[in-house]
Amino acid sequence: MTEEKSEFKILEKELKKEFKNAWDNIENREEAFDFADEYKKFLDNSKTERLCVEEIIEYAENNGYVNLDDLIKDGKKLETGDKVYAINRGKSVVMALIGKENVSKGLNIVGSHIDSPRLDLKPNPLYEDSNLALMKTHYYGGIRKYQWATIPLAIHGVVITKDNKIVKVSYGENENEPVFYISDLLPHLAKDQAKKTLAEGINGENLNIIVGSIPYGDKDTKEKVKLNVLRILNEKYNLIEEDFLSAEIEIVPAGKARDIGFDRGLIGGYGHDDRVCTFAALKGILEIEVPTKTAMTVFTDKEEVGSQGNTGAQSKFVENVVSEMINLQEDFNQLKVRRAITNTQVLSADVGAGLDPTFPEVSEKLNSAFIGNGVQLVKYTGARGKGGCNDANAEFVGEVRKIFNDNNITWQAGELGKIDQGGGGTIAYLLANDGAEVVDCGTPVLSMHSPFELISKADLFMTYRAYKAFMNR
Ligand code: MN
Ligand code: MN
């Protein structure tokens, strides 16, 4: 005999929103674990925006994507089903799968950013003090500075030498390579520092990385430890001190992403913000069949400092690519570009703040994302009275919600913490300013912007399925 449900139970099921754990909605958990393993490799290879671009291009080319510039050079047309990518100065990249309709009818875009908070070398970084060689850094993006001391650090970047040669620098990731280090005070002598606020305990000018300690030279040589570091850099990379001026060298946490917890359900790693959404979008576009509208992924630089510059989302790069694509399909005019963008829908693919059970006081439980409850749909970000936000239109949010529900995706709504506790933004408002429909949607993270951020493998998997469903239309 089956148990009869009470009318209240039935009413509850009909009316109340059910919050599901994403794991309960993943039939084959091995699939989510395998996906996470591939993501960890992607993350380990993508420590900077430039390295991330290289990684994305490799994925793209291995899956039949061709450089849009080559198509233009060869005077080819763009056809339904064509796969193209375009690189912007090695720091941002877009991919597009041409749909059944012309690009001028609008696109479905998933846009993430591939820069992460870090330390950049100053233009004149190297000095010697107290038998140590050190390098001055200037932090990039919103970091909590005290978190970057006393951890192993690696160096990645490019240097343009005096003969205009590009030298790629990468040091500190392999087990047999040395790492770099920022010191902090011992507790025994930290009486004054301990009275300072967390924000002031380690300040920007304290973020000096130790890069050497062995002298080189004779009794007349000044700054022998510094000279030795320069000698090694010259041997290894053919660099001289002045080259640092025309360089972009980034200091990031050394080491690989790791599983976290006895059940291995979480991933700790540097740069989940926002390479987790990047990987989810990348895998999504690679796996869809030819959609009705052209599917596009945008992987942009400079989000962490406001999206300015010619590689940030404020640049005209995406619009230029859309223009080129229209020009390869039909008679070109500007109005077609404007109309294409107006008819474009965008998921601004960025991570959200998950509720941290150790610090619940900064979140409002009813409107927070929880680790494990799936991909997070964020109608608006901003600070205080929604300042600086992109507030997605209800009609569009409704459409996205339906896509997710129709595709059995575990999703949750969420704000970025309590009102007046702080706030933040994404690239959402930029394409929205041009007239596209945009809503924020991404993976919830704990310890965001720290050297070792935390996400759930189930949330990662739902994010990928969500982006894939969104582009597969
Ligand atoms: Mn982000
Ligand atoms: Mn961020």
Q: Name the H helices within 202-333.
A: 224-237, 272-287, 317-327
Distance (angstroms) between ligand 2 centre and the Cα of 116 equals 6
pLDDT at 389: 87
Rg of the chain over all Cα atoms, to the nearest angstrom: 24
Ligand 1 centre to CA of 383 (Å) is 15
Biggest CA-to-CA distance, the chain: 97
Query: Which ligand has an atom closest to residue 350 CA?
Result: 1
Q: How far is the CA of 121 from the centre of ligand 2 (A)?
A: 20
Within 239-305, where are the H helices? 272-287
pTM above 0.85, yes or no: yes
Identify the pLDDT of residue 1.
Answer: 55
Among residues 438, 443, 410, the alpha carbon closest in space to that of 267 is found at: 443
| Dist. CA 158 → ligand 1 center (Å) | 23
| Nearest ligand to the C-alpha atom of residue 277 | 1
Centroid of ligand 2 to alpha carbon of 433 (angstroms) = 21
Domain range 118-253, CATH architecture? Roll (2.30)
CB 390 within 8 A of CB 432: yes
Q: pLDDT tens across 125-134, in order?
A: 999 999 999 9
Å from CA of 72 to ligand 1 middle: 33
> Which fold, 11-116+270-471?
Aminopeptidase (3.40.630)
User: What pLDDT, on the 0 to 100 scale, is given for residue 423?
Assistant: 84
CA 304 / ligand 2 centre spacing (Å): 5
pLDDT at 2: 60
> Environment class of residue 50 by beta-carbon count within 10 Å: exposed (0-12), middle (13-18) or buried (19+)?
buried
* β 153-160/92-97 pair status: unpaired
Give the Cα separation of 443 and 267 in Å (integer): 12
What would the pLDDT profile of 378-388 be if each residue is shown by its tens digit?
Answer: 999 888 988 88
- How many Å lie between the centroid of ligand 2 and the Cα of residue 224? 40
User: Ligand 1 centre and the CA of 113: distance in Å?
Assistant: 7
Say how far apart CA 52 and CA 113 lie, in whole Å.
Answer: 10
Say what the pLDDT of residue 165 is. Answer: 95
The Cα 458–Cα 448 span in angstroms is 18
Q: Give the Å distance between the CA of 51 and the centre of ligand 2.
A: 18
How is the chain split into domains, by residue range?
Answer: 11-116+270-471, 118-253
CA 125 – ligand 1 centroid, Å? 28
Say how far apart CA 45 and CA 42 lie, in whole Å: 5
Instruction: Output the CA 446–ligand 2 centroid distance in Å.
Output: 12
- In angstroms, how far is CA 412 from the centroid of its own chain? 20
Residues lower than pLDDT 50 in the chain: none
352 alpha carbon – ligand 1 mean position (Å): 8
pLDDT at position 414: 87
